[in-house]
Amino acid sequence: MTSHAFDALDRRLLHALQLDGRASFSRIGEVLGVSGQTVARHYTALRSHGMIKVIGLSDPDLLGEVLWLTRVRCTPDAAGAVAGAIARRDDTAWVHLTSGGTEIVCVTRVPGGNSDENTPLLQQLPHTPRVLDVTAQCVLNVFLGGGEGLLRKARVLTAAEVEALSWTTDATPRHEMSEQDCAMLALLRTDGRTQIAELAAATGWSQTTVRRRLAELRAGGLLRFVVDFDHRLLGYGVHVLLWLSVEPADLEMAGTLMAEEHPEVAYVAATTGRTNLVAGVVCTSVKDLYGYLTRRLAVLPGVRQIETAPVVRTLKSATVLNPGRPGATGW
């Protein structure tokens, strides 16, 4: 599926699913002014071509997990194989090949605490053949994550449509997960729109109980639905990662401005390490990227240094292996 096949309804559908990944096609169609069958047809086409996928995720903060951004520099002949092995791990997400294909960047989720047992990947990588260097930076604060902010800043839907499609509930928040909840989450991580009947079969619960439990987990923040999508759906052909050194006194302001006022920014977070602000940026062209770097980004308060790393290929998004995907927008 090439970029000329995308239309305005595809982009509006994408934003609607970011607001509520399990919204019915009939409800989405009602708000967008088309039939539910039309929405279903567009979703099926995009889904079958691997351009979008709804996935269920747990909140790492609520589960006591810590996120680490890891950069792995390899010999050119080994980067692809090492990246593939990293992508197949259950504790990794957003595995990118950058810098001409010689560097791997990924996110690792580890249990809270500082013991070596909590960071198996970070302990193993330095001893991997043909790995030249490994650096890891702890994520301290996420200013913007996922694709919803990118879509909101692009004004894909009107304010009234956003309000009508945003998920709400009066369910009692649940703050702990049972074995059945984990079994349900395993299916939702693969497909966030898994049918209620299939979730009931996996948990042994009735369909009514499954519906109530989903609402309770979402209300408590333990479960959220996001859309993994190709940035080309929004017309962006260039994806880069930025590593910035910012004066500590200006870090909060710089991160907030990038999150709220820079339409090119899909992800931005404060981290530990030599650089203390990392961002995922998408642009329509290399020329537009140059303009962003030299004009909008250059005037941010407190920025001392900027390193750019073009994304060559995304091997894994939040949970989904993406062989051959040029890029995704989670960060």
- Tens of pLDDT along 208-238? 999 999 999 999 999 999 998 888 888 898 9
Q: How many CA atoms lie within 13 A of 128 on its CB side?
A: 22
pLDDT of residue 184: 96
Percent of the chain's residues with pLDDT above 70? 92
Is the residue at 215 inside a domain?
A: yes
Containing structural domain, residue 189: 174-220
Picking from 110, 79, 111, 78, the residue whose alpha carbon sits closest to that of residue 95 is: 79
Is 17 in contact with 165 (CB distance < 8 Å)?
no
Q: Is the pLDDT of residue 40 over 70?
A: yes
pLDDT tens digits for 158-192?
999 999 999 999 999 999 999 999 999 999 999 99
Question: Which secondary-structure segment (H or E) carries 215?
Answer: helix 207-219
Question: What one-letter code names the amino acid at 297?
Answer: L
Q: Is the pLDDT of residue 148 over 90?
A: no
Would residue 56 be called left, alpha or beta, if left means φ above 0 and alpha means ψ between -120 and 50 degrees? Answer: beta
Is the residue at 188 inside a domain?
A: yes
* C-beta atoms surrounding 91 within 10 Å: 16
Q: pTM higher than 0.75 for the full model?
A: yes
Lowest mean pLDDT among 48-52, 118-122, 179-183, 229-233: 118-122
Is the residue at 278 inside a domain?
A: no
Q: Is the pLDDT of residue 4 over 50?
A: no
Name the domain count of the chain. 1
Percent of the chain's residues with pLDDT above 90? 70
Is the residue at 213 inside a domain?
A: yes
Is the residue at 198 inside a domain?
A: yes
Is the residue at 201 inside a domain?
A: yes
Token pair for 260: 């709220």
CA dist 132 and 121 (Å) reads 15
Is the residue at 67 inside a domain?
A: no
Is the residue at 210 inside a domain?
A: yes
pLDDT tens digits for 16-25?
999 999 999 9
- The residue-averaged pLDDT of 273-293 equals 95
Mean pLDDT for the chain? 89
CATH number of the domain at 212, please. Answer: 1.10.10
